[in-house]
């Protein structure tokens, strides 16, 4: 074998094959040298994370190689439906601008057209400008404009068109030649421990972790197989409750998370003027009936509670939930009064970051925060770190156990859930086994244990079951399912 001294090497003296030898040799040797330097620097937390990441590689590789089968007919039908919706919205938007504002040939994708419409014709006050003095037309500026009655219908049309176009981009991603959608998972792709996903190594597929419910019905089980989706229920909320139990010996929020219906209980605290009955089964329909803005208060309790747990600001939560600022303010006033440890936890994180600069999660994942320690953005990022990081570890540990059991085929990991497929005739044998593998307990202080339950839904495609439009969709698992796969 030829010995190549890279320290004395002139690349021009090598042929193409020799250059590839050198490239691959350096890639392996330098990686090893870096590893030998880094390993002694690891502590008990970072070494545990490193070993866990290595153990996760087998399950990740299986999912990357297998991919998920796509129903081409369903995919094309959804694409056609979305294109028709976009066309109708663009026609409506052009008519609103033409007849309401007297502007011909308006294009919602043109920044000059948007600036002229909002700032010159409608005379909406400028909120911010670029360094060059141009009016800003980003998502935040549109959220502010939506508060003006004259601009609201235009902004809502634009937002809806953008939303549909984003979904179209996912739908139109190139598939592999075998008709499967594959993604490239990155184990170290985020700072929280969550997996990141993107295009496969061959430029096909895409991000499999943020596919919206509306698009999921095109992902189907292979012939003779059936899908199951295992979702961690209220995982992040339960971890918030566990953190507060360990820090302050306050189990009020964790108790609510472990109750039958956390969102209805939160509704009782956040909307005390509602004539609640005290019976959860009767109070839930009440919460689903009363509306504030575009949504019922039970839906809002879920969205606003989750955002408030992470230090969400009133303006941001109002824009994301569709509620008014006053509704969000009223919610947070009652919510933090009912669960005062939330503010105590936020303050604890703020002081921890200020004086030490790092956090360690319930599952033993350590992270340093390199941003400005007094920055609100840094603090909000730190507040979200433990719930998101701990839950990602719980889900990925479950993924490893399911992979090692080798009783089903792993298809996807989607942050808080795992998607698998298995021989459909073996459902009642396999599902209970998987459920037992998902059981994960974290020992807390003061002789308490945190359990994060997983819900299970089964079907022949990844969308939700609908008796009229998606009979093959996912339905809550019940032994002895009599459904049969429909063409």
Compute the distance between CA of residue 197 and CA of residue 173 in angstroms, rounded to an integer: 14
Parallel/antiparallel/unpaired status of strands 358-360 and 295-296: unpaired
Pinpoint the alpha helices (H) of 12-43: 16-38
Residue 263 exposed, middle or buried by CB count within 10 Å (0-12, 13-18, 19+)? buried
Cα–Cα distances (Å) from 251 to 195, 243, 255, 304, 450, in that order, read 30, 9, 6, 21, 11
Which tokens sit at 99? 């007849």
- Pairing between strand 475-476 and 454-459? antiparallel
- The pLDDT score that the predictor gives to residue 199 is 86
- CATH 1.10.150.20 for domain 236-385: yes
Which among 441, 316, 437, 448 is positioned nearest to 376, based on CA atoms? 316
The DSSP 8-state label assigned to residue 480 in this structure reads T
Distances (CA, A) of 451 to 234, 258, 431, 454: 11, 9, 19, 10
Q: Is the pTM of this model over 0.75?
A: yes
- Which ranges constitute the DSSP H helices of 234-324? 235-248, 252-257, 262-270, 280-289, 297-309, 314-321
- CATH, domain 72-171, list 3.40.50.300, 3.40.50.720, 1.20.1060.10, 3.40.1280.10: 1.20.1060.10
pLDDT at 132: 66
On whether the CB atoms of residues 106 and 98 are closer than 8 A, the answer is yes
Are 457 and 474 in contact by the 8 Å Cβ rule? The answer is yes
Q: Which fold has domain 216-235+393-476?
A: Alpha-Beta Plaits (3.30.70)
Q: What pLDDT score does 277 carry?
A: 95
Q: Are 116 and 104 in contact (CB under 8 A)?
A: no
Element (H, E) at 218: none
Strands 183-186 and 196-199 come out as antiparallel
What whole-number distance in Å separates Cα of residue 474 and Cα of residue 462? 6
How would DSSP label each residue in 430-472?
HHHHHHHHH--EEE-STT-EEE--EEEEEESBSSBPBTTTBTT
In angstroms, how far is the first alpha carbon of the chain from the final one? 59
Q: What is the pLDDT along the chain (487 residues), one digit of tens a residue?
A: 567 777 777 877 788 888 888 888 888 889 999 999 999 999 999 999 999 999 999 999 999 999 999 999 989 988 999 999 999 999 999 999 999 899 998 888 888 898 889 888 998 887 666 666 677 777 778 888 888 888 889 999 999 999 899 888 888 889 999 999 999 999 988 988 899 998 887 888 888 877 888 889 999 999 999 999 999 999 999 999 999 999 999 999 999 999 989 999 999 999 999 999 999 999 999 999 999 877 899 999 999 999 999 999 998 898 788 888 899 999 999 999 999 999 999 999 999 999 999 999 999 999 999 999 999 999 999 999 999 999 999 999 999 999 999 999 999 999 899 999 999 999 999 999 999 999 889 999 999 999 999 999 999 999 999 999 899 999 999 999 999 998 7
Beta-bridge mates of residue 358: 368
Token duo for residue 344: 């105590």
Secondary structure element (H or E) that encloses residue 393, with its range:
helix 376-405
The vertex-202 CA angle with 200 and 203, nearest 5°, equals: 70
């Amino acid at each position: 074998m030829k010995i190549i001294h890279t320290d004395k090497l002139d690349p021009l003296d090598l042929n193409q094959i020799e250059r590839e030898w050198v490239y691959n040799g350096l890639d392996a040797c330098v990686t090893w040298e870096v590893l030998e330097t880094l390993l002694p620097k690891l502590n008990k937390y970072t070494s545990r994370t490193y070993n866990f990441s290595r153990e996760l590689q087998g399950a990740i590789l299986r999912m990357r190689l297998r991919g998920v089968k796509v129903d081409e007919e369903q995919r094309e039908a959804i694409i056609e439906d979305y294109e028709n919706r976009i066309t109708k919205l663009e026609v409506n938007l052009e008519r609103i601008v033409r007849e309401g504002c007297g502007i011909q040939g308006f294009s919602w994708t043109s920044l000059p057209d948007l600036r002229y419409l909002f700032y010159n014709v409608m005379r909406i006050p400028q909120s911010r400008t670029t360094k060059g003095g141009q009016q800003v037309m980003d998502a935040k500026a549109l959220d502010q404009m939506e508060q003006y009655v004259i601009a609201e219908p235009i902004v809502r049309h634009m937002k809806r068109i953008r939303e549909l176009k984003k979904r179209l981009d996912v739908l139109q991603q190139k598939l592999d030649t075998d008709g499967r959608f594959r993604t490239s998972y990155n184990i170290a792709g985020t700072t929280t421990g969550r997996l990141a996903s993107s295009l496969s190594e061959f430029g096909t597929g895409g991000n499999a972790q943020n596919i919206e419910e509306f698009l999921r019905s095109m992902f189907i089980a292979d012939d003779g197989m059936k899908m199951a989706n295992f979702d961690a229920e209220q995982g992040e909320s339960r971890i918030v409750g566990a953190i507060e139990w360990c820090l302050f010996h306050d189990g009020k929020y964790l108790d609510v998370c472990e109750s039958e219906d956390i969102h209805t209980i939160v509704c009782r605290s956040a909307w005390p003027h509602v004539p609640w009955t005290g019976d959860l089964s009767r109070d839930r329909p009440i919460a689903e009936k009363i509306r504030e803005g575009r949504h019922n208060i039970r839906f809002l309790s879920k969205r606003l509670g989750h955002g408030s747990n992470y230090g969400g600001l009133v303006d941001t939560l109002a824009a994301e939930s569709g509620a008014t600022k006053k509704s969000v303010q009223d919610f947070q006033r009652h919510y933090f009064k009912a669960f005062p440890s939330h503010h105590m936890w936020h303050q604890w994180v703020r002081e921890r970051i200020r004086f030490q600069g790092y956090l360690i999660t319930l599952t033993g994942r350590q992270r340093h925060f390199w941003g400005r320690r007094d920055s609100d953005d840094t603090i909000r990022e730190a507040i979200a770190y433990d719930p998101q990081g701990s839950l990602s570890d719980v889900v990925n540990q479950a993924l490893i156990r399911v992979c090692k059991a080798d009783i089903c085929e792993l298809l996807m990991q989607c942050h808080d859930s795992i998607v698998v497929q298995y021989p459909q005739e073996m459902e009642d044998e396999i599902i209970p086994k998987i459920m037992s593998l998902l059981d994960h307990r974290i020992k807390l202080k003061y002789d308490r244990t945190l359990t994060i339950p997983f819900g299970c839904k089964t079907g022949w495609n990844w969308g939700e079951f609908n008796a009229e439009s998606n009979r093959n969709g996912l339905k809550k698992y019940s032994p002895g399912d009599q459904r049969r796969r429909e063409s």
